[in-house]
Amino acid sequence: MIRLEVIGDPIEHSLSPAVHGAALSALGVEYEYKKVRVAAGGLKRYIAHAISDRVDGFNLTMPHKVDILKFLSEISDDARLAESVNTVCVNNGSLSGFNTDGRGFELSLNRSGYEFKNSRIVILGAGGVVRTLVTAAALKGAKSVCVINRTQSKAREVCAAADGISDTELSFAAFEELSESCGDADIFINATPLGMSGCRGDFENLEFLHALPKGVLVSDLIYNPPKTTLLKEAERIGLKTQNGLGMLIFQALAADEYYLERKLDMQAMYEKVINNL
């Protein structure tokens, strides 16, 4: 039996137990997957429990993805570059950290017929997940990434952190420059909570969608609601769209590959998970 946990604060609404449960059941793996509320500053104590109670691995969400770095004996290259870890394997008392968000997102792109390689990408937002996506896009040979954020200094910082990873052209712009920045995008990603259920804000103006080329994919990382105002409008004007459910499922499957130390047929597993959820 494999013993897994997900830690964060808040943690009550985490879908990780459902998604990992659907995947591990489909694989016929005997498992236990618990949610554990761990507040900021509580990592040291949690890790002592994970080791002494023989937890095999754990996923991390807010506020631990960065703080965990100092407790790791090993870290994957992408997680090190993004300075963010969402998956930890515990082996004989030592911890190995990974970040599966970038791969999870790319697998969701593949499902829609897109990929990072050679793509021109525009991302709205510059929070934790964007740093991971920019790192993954640069490592996978995206042609360019433009980061647009309400607080422009954060967009600049995200680009600076990924500078030099590869030849990917990195730039940043202000929210007001959205339309001008969209003209040649292959992939547009909303990585802000605008339009998310329970979040008071939504896009006040979606005119910029008309500046996107016809073949673009409009990707919203939000999965609740399944169709945000952004996705509804993009669909209405004939653009291809995807929500964040694919990323959520694929990042979990990529984490399960680390926990189980085996490769999974990702696209086949996606079908099984979505049918079991």
DSSP for 125-189? --SHHHHHHHHHHHHTT-SEEEEEESSHHHHHHHHHHHTTSSS-EEEEEEGGGHHHHHTT-SEEE
Q: Is 223 in the site for ligand NAP (CB under 6 A)?
A: yes
Q: Is 196 in the site for ligand NAP (CB under 6 A)?
A: yes
* Structural tokens at position 164: 């030099």
- Report the residue number, 162 or 248, with the smaller CB distance to ligand NAP: 248
**Active-site annotation holder among 34, 65, 140, 214:** 65
Minimum gap (Å) between residue 230 Cβ and ligand NAP: 11
Q: Is 22 in the site for ligand NAP (CB under 6 A)?
A: no
Footprint of ligand NAP on 142-161 (CB under 6 A): 149-151, 154
- Report the residue number, 21 or 125, with the smaller CB distance to ligand NAP: 125
Closest CB to ligand NAP: residue number: 127
DSSP assignment letter at 117:
T
For ligand NAP, which residue of 60, 247, 253, 254 counts as binding (CB under 6 A)?
A: 247
Minimum gap (Å) between residue 149 Cβ and ligand NAP: 5
Minimum gap (Å) between residue 193 Cβ and ligand NAP: 4
- Report the residue number, 24 or 248, with the smaller CB distance to ligand NAP: 248
3-state secondary structure of 92: coil
Q: Is 17 in the site for ligand NAP (CB under 6 A)?
A: no
Q: Is 130 in the site for ligand NAP (CB under 6 A)?
A: yes
Stretch of 4-12, 49-57, 180-188, 216-224 contacting ligand NAP, by CB under 6 A? 216-224
- Report the residue number, 20 or 90, with the smaller CB distance to ligand NAP: 20
Which residue(s) pair with 57 in the sheet?
A: 4, 89
Q: Residue 225: is the preceding peptide bond cis (ω within 30°)?
A: yes
Q: Is 183 in the site for ligand NAP (CB under 6 A)?
A: no
Size of the site for ligand NAP (CB under 6 A): 24
Which residue(s) pair with 122 in the sheet?
A: 146, 188
The per-residue b/e assignment along 166-199, b for 16 or more CB within 10 angstroms, e otherwise, is: eebebebbeeeebeebbeebbbbbbbbbbbbeee
Number of C-beta neighbours around residue 228 at 10 A? 25
Q: Is 195 in the site for ligand NAP (CB under 6 A)?
A: no
Minimum gap (Å) between residue 87 Cβ and ligand NAP: 13
Minimum gap (Å) between residue 194 Cβ and ligand NAP: 6
- Cα(212)–Cα(227) distance, rounded to whole angstroms? 19
Q: Is 126 in the site for ligand NAP (CB under 6 A)?
A: yes
Active site residue 65: yes
- Smallest Cα–Cα separation from 135: which of 108, 114, 156, 160? 160
Cα–Cα distances in angstroms (integers) from residue 144 to residues 12, 33, 134, 147, in the given order: 37, 39, 10, 10
Query: If 0-12 CB within 10 Å is exposed, 13-18 middle and 19+ buried, where does residue 51 land?
Result: middle
CB 34 within 8 A of CB 17: yes
Q: Which residues participate in catalysis according to the annotation?
A: 65
Contacting positions for ligand NAP (CB under 6 A): 101, 125-130, 149-151, 154, 191-194, 196, 201, 221-223, 244, 247-248, 251
